A and B are shown apart, each in its own frame.
Chain A
């Protein structure tokens, strides 16, 4: 009988005490006083979550490491991997336990443990301007080798040594495979990279789709062959088909739940979404992930019906339009909220759009390939009709759907993948809408890149601009 791959996650996972400073401060939290300024002033402060669902997420993140510890103890295979790489269903269906290394880097950052790993990588020759998800992982692996086991006091018990490392050659994010080549300095284990490409925004999608899907399918087949060879696990194709079906239902309910966030007042903010993405991106293909989003859907539906918002008086609605968040300083959202601004939606970690997989696609790998291809070309046609850029189209859609007053991006200094192109995005948006924009600068994991006072000053000025813009509209 197949094992339950999400056994490490409690069905109704409760947030452990060390993961949040959430308290019963609903009445006090909106008061703009000096103490709240210090929430951002002290970047060790954690974000305050709004939804019950977001508070359950810590169990999922802890479950990733816990599951790996159990697998290691039992001698079961473990794979290093990155998100959004089509590994999810395949690994779940083969009883191979994933360690999502970038997730572990983010946890290390939240736990203020990142610096020792980044410093170790730097000491070994890897510059601080490389992706800090990767330098944290490299530094951790280096220390694990030096210690002959998990480095002491590692968050969540550390990352187990993997059986295999799985990179992906995507359109963007070269560190997904380059960093694992470096990790092999410290853990000499088999490695495989499969290609995941989609056509550029100006491609004639119908003319290229067949060879793209064929390529994606064959690359996945190579991945399965590699896993069978190096883990002693056999793929159960029927089980993979069932897992894909479950994932598709999960994507749908996740998408439907987020659609409810169009409501005014906003029922769920972006700081929650930076948590509620965890089951979707790290537990996809499990019943627990589906149940999580079903619960989230129900909770948001009730909040919308009761007109319960993130903050009592919602003055400004801001779109998180680009960039990974500074994981060590998610409290910036709470600072915005203290000024009457809420983030009803974000493009980052947004659920994949539910797409139709052609009925002609029978083999599960082909189904995965079609789903991937259609998700990544979903807005190509709209882009070709207007801005030329699917990312711009997504933002323009969200501005309208979520009644947005201003646009914000966060630029992480160490990641070119997601953070080069933000200026262009903002420039193009100005050709189609006239909203205030702001780009904050720091990093995903390196707290040293965070300028506390400068960030607050930028936010203050931006909110002033939002107010001025509203005044202008009111007077027009």
Chain B
């Protein structure tokens, strides 16, 4: 039976901008955003098309060197390179959250050189205290106002709640999709999931929910796993949107069965609660529910308890998806992830899950270099 939804996923991944451009042609405004910290719910409620900015590891940097330093996160540089080459000229605007130093730095550079119709910097506290929550809600109010100015009308609470429900539905569908990964061998491959996650980040949430339902239906149509029984791996890392990395790992002899990456569970493993003031629910979800190394939760208890509080969700992923090992795939100059990697590796190994820290530079070439290390690691966990 033809797997139509998965074929559509492939098509979107090959032409990532096609739907956004089509909608722009119909008069919609498309707004690009970086990172997991921008509440797409507000964009959806305003009738905008949210478009997650990603790079392309197969395209070497050609123009960005004249604008940004080589010591910057290569993912962010790659995204900017695409922009300065005109590949993001269809965006009406862009939003940068205060997520990490690299992302913060790109805001001024992008705005000055590309002069978009709309731009906004969303300040996100690094801490999750009560004061931080109140601040973030106020900051979301400023953000919402700027979006209202862009679309020329107010966004009602009803519209926001409707958008929250749509995005919560998307998250529920993603969790349902991930359930297929629990079988051994899994019913869906890691690269198929990765492609799906890339695809849904490029289309409106309504479209993405239809697509996810189609993919789930496709996978349900598989009477048995088309994949071999191989070591089961978890991938941990930051802004990974490069399907070839997952493909390389799987071709080397593994099944990638769970992730903690920005396009994966990090952005989708939680819900926004419907609250009387919708911004309360959004603030709480985006500030406190995203497990990213850039957020500091005040330490309590012993160091072991603190580590469990910070990384216990990874241990639970490893247990729930019955993994044999964990790849910690760090993109060079991603300081926050680099700082955490050793603690996470030690923590998971203590829990019985061997780990390997590898560093890539967001190029196709670096994936080839990593292959040998992946092979050695797989031999170990096998």
Q: For residue B72, which residues in chain A have a CB less than 8 angstroms away from its CB? A: 416, 420
Q: Is A347 an interface residue (CB 8 A)?
A: no
> In the complex, what distance in Å separates the CA atom of A388 from the CA atom of B108?
8
Residue of A178, A191, A389, A428 ringed by the most chain B CB atoms within 10 A = A178
Which of B157-165, B203-211, B269-277, B296-304 makes up part of the contact surface?
B296-304
Q: Is B100 an interface residue (CB 8 A)?
A: yes
Interface flags for A171-199 (1: CB within 8 Å of B; 0: not) read 11111011101101100101111110101
Q: Is B127 an interface residue (CB 8 A)?
A: yes
> In the complex, what distance in Å separates the CA atom of A123 from the CA atom of B204?
46
Q: For residue B335, which residues in chain A have a CB less than 8 angstroms away from its CB? A: 130-131, 174-175, 178, 416
> In the complex, what distance in Å separates the CA atom of A173 from the CA atom of B123?
15
Within 112-143 of B, Cβ neighbours of A (below 8 Å) are at 112, 119, 121, 123, 125-127, 129-132, 134-135, 138-139, 142
What's the nearest-Cβ distance from chain B to residue A179, in Å? 7
Q: Is B217 an interface residue (CB 8 A)?
A: no
What's the nearest-Cβ distance from chain B to residue A176, in Å? 9
A193 touches B108 (CB 8 A): no
Q: Is B3 an interface residue (CB 8 A)?
A: no
B332 touches A129 (CB 8 A): yes
> In the complex, what distance in Å separates the CA atom of A167 from the CA atom of B132?
15
> In the complex, what distance in Å separates the CA atom of A121 from the CA atom of B151?
51
Q: Is A457 an interface residue (CB 8 A)?
A: no
Q: Is B107 an interface residue (CB 8 A)?
A: yes
B357 touches A125 (CB 8 A): yes
Chain B, interface size category, equals: 35 or more
What's the nearest-Cβ distance from chain B to residue A202, in Å? 7
A208 touches B131 (CB 8 A): no
Q: Is B376 an interface residue (CB 8 A)?
A: no
Q: Is B228 an interface residue (CB 8 A)?
A: no
A197 touches B123 (CB 8 A): yes
What's the nearest-Cβ distance from chain A to residue B16, in Å? 26
B111 touches A219 (CB 8 A): no
Residue of B67, B333, B341 ringed by the most chain A CB atoms within 10 A = B333
> In the complex, what distance in Å separates the CA atom of A207 from the CA atom of B138?
11
B303 touches A215 (CB 8 A): no
> In the complex, what distance in Å separates the CA atom of A174 from the CA atom of B295?
10
Q: Is A218 an interface residue (CB 8 A)?
A: yes
Interface flags for A140-181 (1: CB within 8 Å of B; 0: not) read 000000000000000000000000000101111111011101
Q: For residue A201, which residues in chain B have a CB less than 8 angstroms away from its CB? A: 108
Among B71, B111, B302, B359, which residue has its beta carbon within 8 angstroms of that of A202? Answer: B111
Q: For residue B107, which residues in chain A have a CB less than 8 angstroms away from its CB? A: 200
Q: Is A421 an interface residue (CB 8 A)?
A: yes
B296 touches A208 (CB 8 A): no
Q: Is A419 an interface residue (CB 8 A)?
A: yes
> In the complex, what distance in Å separates the CA atom of A419 from the CA atom of B335?
14
Q: For residue A179, which residues in chain B have a CB less than 8 angstroms away from its CB? A: 339
A169 touches B339 (CB 8 A): no
> Contacts A211-B135, A416-B102, A421-B105: A195 and B339 contacting too (C-beta < 8 A)?
no
B131 touches A195 (CB 8 A): yes
Q: Is A378 an interface residue (CB 8 A)?
A: no
B69 touches A422 (CB 8 A): yes
Among A167, A178, A197, A423, which residue has its beta carbon within 8 angstroms of that of B293? Answer: A178
Chain A, interface size category, equals: 35 or more
> In the complex, what distance in Å separates the CA atom of A192 from the CA atom of B127?
10
Among B121, B127, B341, which residue has its beta carbon within 8 angstroms of that of A219? Answer: B127
A174 touches B101 (CB 8 A): yes
Q: For residue B139, which residues in chain A have a CB less than 8 angstroms away from its CB? A: 208, 211
B340 touches A388 (CB 8 A): no
For residue A431, which residue of chain B has the nearest CB? Answer: B112
A171 touches B338 (CB 8 A): no
Residue of B72, B123, B130 ringed by the most chain A CB atoms within 10 A = B123
Q: Is A127 an interface residue (CB 8 A)?
A: yes
Q: Is A126 an interface residue (CB 8 A)?
A: yes
> In the complex, what distance in Å separates the CA atom of A423 from the CA atom of B121?
21
> In the complex, what distance in Å separates the CA atom of A429 from the CA atom of B335?
29
Interface flags for A401-424 (1: CB within 8 Å of B; 0: not) read 000000000010110110111111
Q: For residue B135, which residues in chain A have a CB less than 8 angstroms away from its CB? A: 195, 197, 211-212, 214-215
Q: Is A222 an interface residue (CB 8 A)?
A: yes
Q: Is A427 an interface residue (CB 8 A)?
A: yes
> In the complex, what distance in Å separates the CA atom of A300 from the CA atom of B303?
51
Q: Is A356 an interface residue (CB 8 A)?
A: no
> In the complex, what distance in Å separates the CA atom of A197 from the CA atom of B108?
17
Among A171, A192, A197, A411, which residue has its beta carbon within 8 angstroms of that of B71? Answer: A411
B100 touches A174 (CB 8 A): yes
> Contacts A167-B296, A171-B104, A215-B135: A419 and B71 contacting too (C-beta < 8 A)?
yes
Q: Is B66 an interface residue (CB 8 A)?
A: yes
Q: Is A464 an interface residue (CB 8 A)?
A: no
A215 touches B132 (CB 8 A): yes
A124 touches B342 (CB 8 A): yes
A423 touches B142 (CB 8 A): no
Among B126, B306, B345, which residue has its beta carbon within 8 angstroms of that of A177? Answer: B126
B332 touches A195 (CB 8 A): no
Among B66, B109, B129, B338, which residue has its beta carbon within 8 angstroms of that of A127? Answer: B338
Among A188, A197, A211, which residue has its beta carbon within 8 angstroms of that of B303? Answer: A188
Q: Is B336 an interface residue (CB 8 A)?
A: yes
What's the nearest-Cβ distance from chain B to residue A317, in Å? 26
> In the complex, what distance in Å separates the CA atom of A202 from the CA atom of B120?
8
What's the nearest-Cβ distance from chain B to residue A235, in Å? 18
Q: For residue A194, which residues in chain B have a CB less than 8 angstroms away from its CB? A: 127
Interface flags for A262-298 (1: CB within 8 Å of B; 0: not) read 0000000000000000000000000000000000000
Q: For residue B142, which residues in chain A have a CB less than 8 angstroms away from its CB? A: 203, 207-208
> In the complex, what distance in Å separates the CA atom of A173 from the CA atom of B112?
22
Interface flags for A379-398 (1: CB within 8 Å of B; 0: not) read 00000000011000000000
For residue B142, which residue of chain A has the nearest CB? Answer: A208
Q: For residue B121, which residues in chain A have a CB less than 8 angstroms away from its CB? A: 200, 202-203
> In the complex, what distance in Å separates the CA atom of A416 from the CA atom of B98?
15
> In the complex, what distance in Å separates the CA atom of A116 from the CA atom of B151?
57
Q: For residue B126, which residues in chain A have a CB less than 8 angstroms away from its CB? A: 169-170, 174, 177, 193, 195
B125 touches A173 (CB 8 A): no
Q: For residue B100, which residues in chain A have a CB less than 8 angstroms away from its CB? A: 174
Q: For residue A417, which residues in chain B have a CB less than 8 angstroms away from its CB? A: 101
B68 touches A423 (CB 8 A): yes
Residue of A190, A200, A212, A427 ringed by the most chain B CB atoms within 10 A = A200
Interface flags for B323-349 (1: CB within 8 Å of A; 0: not) read 000000000110110111111010000
Q: For residue A419, which residues in chain B have a CB less than 8 angstroms away from its CB? A: 69, 71
> Contacts A416-B71, A423-B69: A125 and B339 contacting too (C-beta < 8 A)?
no
Q: Is B294 an interface residue (CB 8 A)?
A: yes
A181 touches B102 (CB 8 A): no
What's the nearest-Cβ distance from chain B to residue A396, in Å? 15
Given contact pairs A195-B127, A207-B142, A211-B138, a sample of 16 additional A-B residue pairs in the complex whose CB atoms are under 8 Å apart: A125-B342, A125-B345, A169-B126, A172-B101, A174-B335, A175-B339, A179-B339, A195-B131, A195-B135, A200-B121, A212-B135, A416-B72, A416-B101, A420-B68, A420-B102, A424-B112
Report 17 cross-chain contacts, Cβ distance below 8 Å, ordered by A residue. Answer: A124-B342, A125-B342, A125-B357, A126-B338, A184-B306, A185-B343, A195-B131, A201-B108, A208-B142, A214-B131, A214-B135, A219-B132, A416-B73, A420-B72, A420-B101, A423-B68, A427-B67
Q: A: which residues have CB within 8 A of B?
A: 124-127, 129-131, 167, 169-175, 177-179, 181-182, 184-185, 188, 190-195, 197, 199-203, 207-208, 211-212, 214-215, 218-219, 222, 388-389, 411, 413-414, 416-417, 419-424, 427-428
Please name the 6 residue pairs, one residue from A and one from B, whose CB atoms are nearest each other, closest first: A169-B126, A218-B131, A215-B135, A211-B138, A200-B121, A178-B339
